Structure 1
Amino acid sequence: MELPFFHGKITRRTCEELLSKNRKNGSYLIRESENVEGALCLCVFFEELVYTYRIFREHQGYFRIETTEGIPARLFRTLKDLIYNYEKPNQGLITNLRYPVMKPKASQRNQRFKSEEDDIYDDIDSDYVTVLP
Protein backbone atom coordinates (compact mmCIF):
# COMPACT_ATOMS: atom_id res chain seq x y z
CA MET A 1 0.00 0.00 0.00
CA GLU A 2 1.53 3.29 -1.12
CA LEU A 3 -0.06 5.69 1.36
CA PRO A 4 2.55 7.54 3.46
CA PHE A 5 0.38 7.26 6.59
CA PHE A 6 -0.09 3.48 6.22
CA HIS A 7 2.19 1.86 8.81
CA GLY A 8 1.45 -1.77 7.99
CA LYS A 9 1.84 -4.35 10.72
CA ILE A 10 2.52 -2.29 13.85
CA THR A 11 1.07 -3.03 17.27
CA ARG A 12 -1.71 -1.04 18.86
CA ARG A 13 0.77 0.14 21.49
CA THR A 14 3.26 1.38 18.87
CA CYS A 15 0.40 3.13 17.10
CA GLU A 16 -0.66 4.87 20.31
CA GLU A 17 2.92 5.99 20.97
CA LEU A 18 3.25 7.44 17.45
CA LEU A 19 -0.05 9.31 17.68
CA SER A 20 0.60 10.57 21.20
CA LYS A 21 3.95 12.12 20.21
CA ASN A 22 2.22 14.90 18.25
CA ARG A 23 -0.50 15.49 20.87
CA LYS A 24 -2.61 17.07 18.12
CA ASN A 25 -6.32 16.34 17.93
CA GLY A 26 -7.04 14.87 14.51
CA SER A 27 -3.68 13.11 14.09
CA TYR A 28 -4.21 9.76 12.37
CA LEU A 29 -2.62 6.75 10.74
CA ILE A 30 -3.73 3.46 9.22
CA ARG A 31 -2.35 0.10 10.33
CA GLU A 32 -3.21 -3.57 9.88
CA SER A 33 -5.60 -4.98 12.48
CA GLU A 34 -3.98 -7.27 15.05
CA ASN A 35 -7.25 -9.13 15.75
CA VAL A 36 -9.27 -9.23 12.52
CA GLU A 37 -7.59 -10.93 9.56
CA GLY A 38 -7.57 -8.72 6.46
CA ALA A 39 -8.99 -5.66 8.23
CA LEU A 40 -7.27 -2.30 8.60
CA CYS A 41 -7.54 0.17 11.47
CA LEU A 42 -7.91 3.92 11.14
CA CYS A 43 -6.50 5.27 14.41
CA VAL A 44 -7.30 8.84 15.43
CA PHE A 45 -5.90 10.89 18.34
CA PHE A 46 -8.39 13.10 20.21
CA GLU A 47 -8.26 14.55 23.74
CA GLU A 48 -5.41 12.29 24.95
CA LEU A 49 -7.10 9.10 23.64
CA VAL A 50 -6.66 7.03 20.48
CA TYR A 51 -9.88 5.95 18.76
CA THR A 52 -9.76 2.97 16.42
CA TYR A 53 -12.13 2.39 13.51
CA ARG A 54 -12.02 -0.85 11.53
CA ILE A 55 -11.86 -0.72 7.76
CA PHE A 56 -13.00 -3.76 5.78
CA ARG A 57 -12.38 -4.62 2.14
CA GLU A 58 -15.62 -5.67 0.46
CA HIS A 59 -15.84 -8.35 -2.25
CA GLN A 60 -16.12 -5.71 -4.98
CA GLY A 61 -12.85 -4.11 -3.82
CA TYR A 62 -14.53 -1.21 -2.05
CA PHE A 63 -13.63 -0.12 1.48
CA ARG A 64 -16.18 0.07 4.30
CA ILE A 65 -15.48 1.65 7.68
CA GLU A 66 -17.23 1.07 11.01
CA THR A 67 -17.90 4.48 12.56
CA THR A 68 -20.38 5.77 15.13
CA GLU A 69 -23.45 3.65 15.74
CA GLY A 70 -26.43 4.97 13.81
CA ILE A 71 -24.32 6.39 10.97
CA PRO A 72 -25.10 4.43 7.77
CA ALA A 73 -22.20 2.45 6.33
CA ARG A 74 -20.57 4.03 3.30
CA LEU A 75 -18.41 2.45 0.64
CA PHE A 76 -15.30 4.08 -0.81
CA ARG A 77 -13.46 3.10 -3.97
CA THR A 78 -10.05 3.82 -2.46
CA LEU A 79 -8.53 4.54 0.94
CA LYS A 80 -7.66 8.01 -0.36
CA ASP A 81 -11.38 8.62 -0.99
CA LEU A 82 -12.17 7.41 2.53
CA ILE A 83 -9.57 9.73 4.09
CA TYR A 84 -10.74 12.67 1.98
CA ASN A 85 -14.31 12.15 3.20
CA TYR A 86 -13.31 12.02 6.88
CA GLU A 87 -11.17 15.14 6.63
CA LYS A 88 -14.52 16.94 6.74
CA PRO A 89 -16.15 17.46 10.17
CA ASN A 90 -19.22 15.60 11.43
CA GLN A 91 -18.86 12.48 9.30
CA GLY A 92 -19.13 9.94 12.12
CA LEU A 93 -15.61 9.92 13.60
CA ILE A 94 -14.70 11.41 16.99
CA THR A 95 -13.10 14.31 15.07
CA ASN A 96 -12.15 15.03 11.50
CA LEU A 97 -8.82 13.81 10.15
CA ARG A 98 -6.27 16.63 10.13
CA TYR A 99 -2.68 15.49 10.65
CA PRO A 100 -1.45 12.31 8.96
CA VAL A 101 1.35 10.61 10.89
CA MET A 102 3.74 9.51 8.18
CA LYS A 103 5.58 6.20 8.23
CA PRO A 104 9.30 6.84 8.69
CA LYS A 105 11.42 6.22 5.63
CA ALA A 106 13.75 3.21 5.74
CA SER A 107 16.80 5.46 6.14
CA GLN A 108 15.22 7.13 9.22
CA ARG A 109 14.40 3.73 10.77
CA ASN A 110 17.95 2.49 10.13
CA GLN A 111 19.44 5.66 11.63
CA ARG A 112 17.31 5.24 14.78
CA PHE A 113 18.47 1.63 15.20
CA LYS A 114 22.09 2.62 14.54
CA SER A 115 22.00 5.28 17.27
CA GLU A 116 20.47 2.75 19.70
CA GLU A 117 23.31 0.33 18.90
CA ASP A 118 25.86 3.11 19.44
CA ASP A 119 24.40 3.74 22.91
CA ILE A 120 24.72 0.06 23.77
CA TYR A 121 28.42 -0.05 22.87
CA ASP A 122 29.44 3.37 24.24
CA ASP A 123 30.83 2.00 27.51
CA ILE A 124 32.10 -1.32 26.24
CA ASP A 125 35.57 -0.80 27.77
CA SER A 126 34.20 -0.01 31.22
CA ASP A 127 33.29 -3.67 31.79
CA TYR A 128 36.52 -5.05 30.36
CA VAL A 129 38.18 -7.70 32.50
CA THR A 130 41.63 -9.10 31.82
CA VAL A 131 41.59 -12.87 31.67
CA LEU A 132 44.91 -14.57 32.34
CA PRO A 133 45.80 -17.88 30.65
Structure 2
Amino acid sequence: MDREGMLVRCIYYGRIGHEATERLLQRFGHDGSFLLRDSETVPGACCLCVRKAPFVHTYRLIPSANGWSLQDPGVPPQSFGTLETLIEHYRRGSDAGMAPLTEPLDKTQLRHSSLGPECFYMEM
Protein backbone atom coordinates (compact mmCIF):
# COMPACT_ATOMS: atom_id res chain seq x y z
CA MET A 1 0.00 0.00 0.00
CA ASP A 2 3.07 2.24 0.11
CA ARG A 3 2.69 3.20 -3.57
CA GLU A 4 -0.92 4.22 -3.12
CA GLY A 5 -2.23 7.72 -2.52
CA MET A 6 -3.63 9.26 0.64
CA LEU A 7 -7.19 8.00 0.04
CA VAL A 8 -6.14 4.35 0.01
CA ARG A 9 -3.83 4.76 3.00
CA CYS A 10 -6.71 6.31 4.98
CA ILE A 11 -9.29 3.63 4.15
CA TYR A 12 -7.05 0.54 4.17
CA TYR A 13 -7.77 -1.45 7.34
CA GLY A 14 -5.49 -4.41 6.63
CA ARG A 15 -6.35 -7.85 7.95
CA ILE A 16 -9.76 -7.35 9.50
CA GLY A 17 -12.51 -9.86 8.91
CA HIS A 18 -15.84 -9.33 7.25
CA GLU A 19 -17.70 -9.26 10.58
CA ALA A 20 -15.50 -6.48 12.00
CA THR A 21 -15.88 -4.62 8.70
CA GLU A 22 -19.66 -4.81 8.90
CA ARG A 23 -19.62 -3.54 12.50
CA LEU A 24 -17.40 -0.59 11.56
CA LEU A 25 -19.54 0.40 8.59
CA GLN A 26 -22.79 -0.01 10.51
CA ARG A 27 -21.57 1.94 13.52
CA PHE A 28 -19.62 4.75 11.85
CA GLY A 29 -20.76 4.72 8.23
CA HIS A 30 -23.74 5.81 6.20
CA ASP A 31 -25.08 4.62 2.86
CA GLY A 32 -22.14 4.88 0.48
CA SER A 33 -19.43 4.66 3.18
CA PHE A 34 -16.59 2.40 2.08
CA LEU A 35 -13.27 0.94 3.17
CA LEU A 36 -10.57 -1.45 1.95
CA ARG A 37 -9.39 -4.60 3.69
CA ASP A 38 -7.34 -7.66 2.81
CA SER A 39 -9.26 -10.56 1.31
CA GLU A 40 -9.67 -13.42 3.75
CA THR A 41 -9.73 -16.05 1.00
CA VAL A 42 -7.55 -14.80 -1.89
CA PRO A 43 -3.92 -13.97 -0.98
CA GLY A 44 -2.82 -10.59 -2.33
CA ALA A 45 -6.35 -9.46 -3.14
CA CYS A 46 -8.28 -6.70 -1.40
CA CYS A 47 -11.95 -6.22 -0.68
CA LEU A 48 -13.75 -2.96 -1.26
CA CYS A 49 -16.59 -2.96 1.28
CA VAL A 50 -19.49 -0.53 0.82
CA ARG A 51 -22.45 0.09 3.08
CA LYS A 52 -25.82 0.21 1.37
CA ALA A 53 -28.41 -0.42 4.06
CA PRO A 54 -29.35 -2.91 5.17
CA PHE A 55 -26.24 -4.65 3.77
CA VAL A 56 -22.51 -4.26 3.37
CA HIS A 57 -21.54 -5.11 -0.21
CA THR A 58 -18.08 -6.57 -0.80
CA TYR A 59 -16.21 -6.36 -4.09
CA ARG A 60 -12.98 -8.29 -4.60
CA LEU A 61 -10.07 -6.35 -6.14
CA ILE A 62 -7.49 -8.54 -7.84
CA PRO A 63 -3.87 -7.48 -8.52
CA SER A 64 -2.29 -8.28 -11.89
CA ALA A 65 0.69 -7.22 -13.97
CA ASN A 66 -1.44 -4.34 -15.33
CA GLY A 67 -2.57 -3.09 -11.93
CA TRP A 68 -5.89 -3.81 -10.20
CA SER A 69 -9.27 -4.95 -11.44
CA LEU A 70 -12.68 -5.49 -9.90
CA GLN A 71 -13.77 -9.13 -9.92
CA ASP A 72 -17.56 -9.03 -10.27
CA PRO A 73 -19.70 -10.84 -12.86
CA GLY A 74 -21.99 -7.81 -13.20
CA VAL A 75 -19.17 -5.37 -13.96
CA PRO A 76 -17.15 -5.44 -17.21
CA PRO A 77 -13.45 -6.23 -16.53
CA GLN A 78 -11.20 -3.19 -16.58
CA SER A 79 -7.64 -2.71 -15.28
CA PHE A 80 -6.38 0.29 -13.29
CA GLY A 81 -2.79 1.19 -12.44
CA THR A 82 -3.51 1.76 -8.74
CA LEU A 83 -6.23 1.02 -6.24
CA GLU A 84 -6.82 4.74 -5.90
CA THR A 85 -7.49 5.09 -9.64
CA LEU A 86 -9.89 2.14 -9.51
CA ILE A 87 -11.78 3.59 -6.52
CA GLU A 88 -12.00 7.07 -8.07
CA HIS A 89 -13.35 5.54 -11.29
CA TYR A 90 -16.20 3.82 -9.46
CA ARG A 91 -16.78 6.83 -7.17
CA ARG A 92 -17.70 8.84 -10.25
CA GLY A 93 -20.60 6.44 -10.76
CA SER A 94 -19.06 4.71 -13.73
CA ASP A 95 -21.01 1.53 -13.11
CA ALA A 96 -24.67 1.32 -12.12
CA GLY A 97 -24.26 -2.27 -10.88
CA MET A 98 -22.20 -1.29 -7.83
CA ALA A 99 -23.30 0.24 -4.57
CA PRO A 100 -22.40 3.96 -4.71
CA LEU A 101 -19.07 5.00 -3.18
CA THR A 102 -19.76 8.34 -1.54
CA GLU A 103 -17.93 8.57 1.80
CA PRO A 104 -14.56 6.99 2.66
CA LEU A 105 -14.49 5.56 6.20
CA ASP A 106 -11.21 7.21 7.21
CA LYS A 107 -9.44 5.19 9.90
CA THR A 108 -7.52 8.25 11.06
CA GLN A 109 -10.81 9.88 12.03
CA LEU A 110 -11.96 6.77 13.90
CA ARG A 111 -8.87 6.84 16.13
CA HIS A 112 -10.18 10.03 17.68
CA SER A 113 -13.64 8.71 18.46
CA SER A 114 -14.75 6.36 21.20
CA LEU A 115 -14.43 3.11 19.28
CA GLY A 116 -14.68 0.54 21.99
CA PRO A 117 -12.75 -2.74 22.00
CA GLU A 118 -14.79 -4.37 19.20
CA CYS A 119 -13.55 -1.95 16.53
CA PHE A 120 -9.81 -2.48 16.51
CA TYR A 121 -8.10 -3.10 13.22
CA MET A 122 -4.69 -4.48 12.39
CA GLU A 123 -2.41 -3.35 9.60
CA MET A 124 0.27 -5.70 8.29
Shorter-normalised TM range: 0.7 to 0.9
Cα pair 1:54 1:66 within 8 Å, conserved: yes
The superposition leaves residues 32-72 of structure 1 with CA deviations (integer Å, 9 ceiling, x where unpaired) of 01111111000010021001100010024x00112352x32
One-letter amino acid matched to 2:42: V
> Where do 1:105-116 residues align within 5 Å?
108=112
Partner of 2:105: 101
Mark the structure with the bigger radius of gyration.
Answer: 1
**How many corresponding residue pairs?**
110
Percent of residue pairs identical: 30
Partner of 2:68: 63
Equivalent in 24, 29, 40 of residue 18 of structure 1: 24
Separation (CA, whole Å) in 2 of partners of 1:37 and 1:53: 15
Unaligned runs of 5+ in 1: 114-133
Equivalent in 40, 50, 56 of residue 50 of structure 1: 56
Structure 1 position 103, deviation (Å)? 1.9
Higher strand share: 2
Cα pair 1:55 1:65 within 8 Å, conserved: yes
Larger relative contact order, structure 1 or 2 (CA cutoff 8 Å, min sep 6): 2
Partner of 1:30: 36
The alignment's TM-score, normalised by the length of structure 1, stands at 0.71
